[in-house]
Amino acid sequence: MKLTLTSWNINSVRLRIDLVAKFVKAARPDILCLQETKCPDDAFPLKRFKRLGYDHVALNGQKGYHGVVVLSRLPFEQVDVQSFCGKTDCRHVSAVFGERAGFRDPITVHNFYVPAGGDIPDPTVNPKFAHKLAFLDEMRTSEKLKPAPSERAILVGDLNVAPLEHDVWSHKQMIRVVSHTPIECEKLNAARKAGGWIDTMRVLAPEPEKLYTWWSYRAADWRIADRGRRLDHIWTSDALADRASTIKIAKDYRGAVRPSDHVPVTATLEV
């Protein structure tokens, strides 16, 4: 059975609902994980997504900030929400797909929005950066993010770290910029390794190939400058490590009218 899953930081789902609709009509992913929905659960555009074929929705949202959602054409068995750093700031939601979705062995999908961390890469003077580092530490120690060797799981989202040299346009110029500092890269990689997660994007597109999923709004011409970063990730547990066949980064959506600064990333897995 083929499963397609898209992760996209949409930067306000209500503001960009037409853009999301355009994408899903073209790509038709089975599962759509959005981050930074910036929408309380009772105001989420459920009817529009149902018309698009997404009858199953796992929400964790709030007004104006953050927010994550798993939208699915397939039914799921259960939903879970984790909080980190003692905050209820809507940065995680997960859904378990099982027999109702046609899977003999369940698949858990985690959707994350890791704190951006502000502009100053010093936790002693920047509370936002301190929060980000603590969040990554808690991801590393979370037992729920350590699937057993036989457990099928996928972790996606805007993890707000570009961990590898070729995940940014210039390693030398970015090494002191939040999202690519050594401490962030170390902590994200530690979280991934602690859970036995596989960086599926880099399995299918190894370095030194450049991979970007985000381009700043500040760039006068983002396409010509192409100063991107890979902030959005798709990880799989070891049990699914050899099941991913393709990863597609829909770069053209950065050039849409009123775009998000992130673009959709879609994985295809044989499950």
Residues 31, 264 contacting (CB under 8 angstroms): no
* pLDDT (0 to 100) of residue 91: 98
Mapping DSSP to helix (H, G, I), strand (E, B) and coil, where does residue 156 land? strand
Q: Tell me the pTM.
A: 0.98
Q: Distances from the Cα of 83 to the Cαs of 91, 144, 158, 216, in angstroms? A: 7, 12, 16, 28
Q: Domain containing 248 — which CATH number?
A: 3.60.10.10
Per residue in 57-68, pLDDT tens? 999 999 999 999
Q: Using alpha carbons, select from 49, 104, 113 the residue that is nearest to residue 81.
A: 113
Q: How far apart are CA 179 and CA 97, in angstroms?
A: 32
Q: What is the residue whose two structure tokens read 């210039």?
A: 170
Give 73-115 as a DSSP string: SS--SEEE---BTTB----EEEEEE-GGGT-SS-EEEEEEE--
> What is the count of structural domains for the chain?
1
Q: What is the DSSP letter of 131?
A: H
Per residue in 164-199, pLDDT tens? 999 999 999 999 999 999 999 999 999 999 999 999
Q: Which domain holds residue 258?
A: 2-270
Q: What is the mean pLDDT of residues 187-214?
A: 98
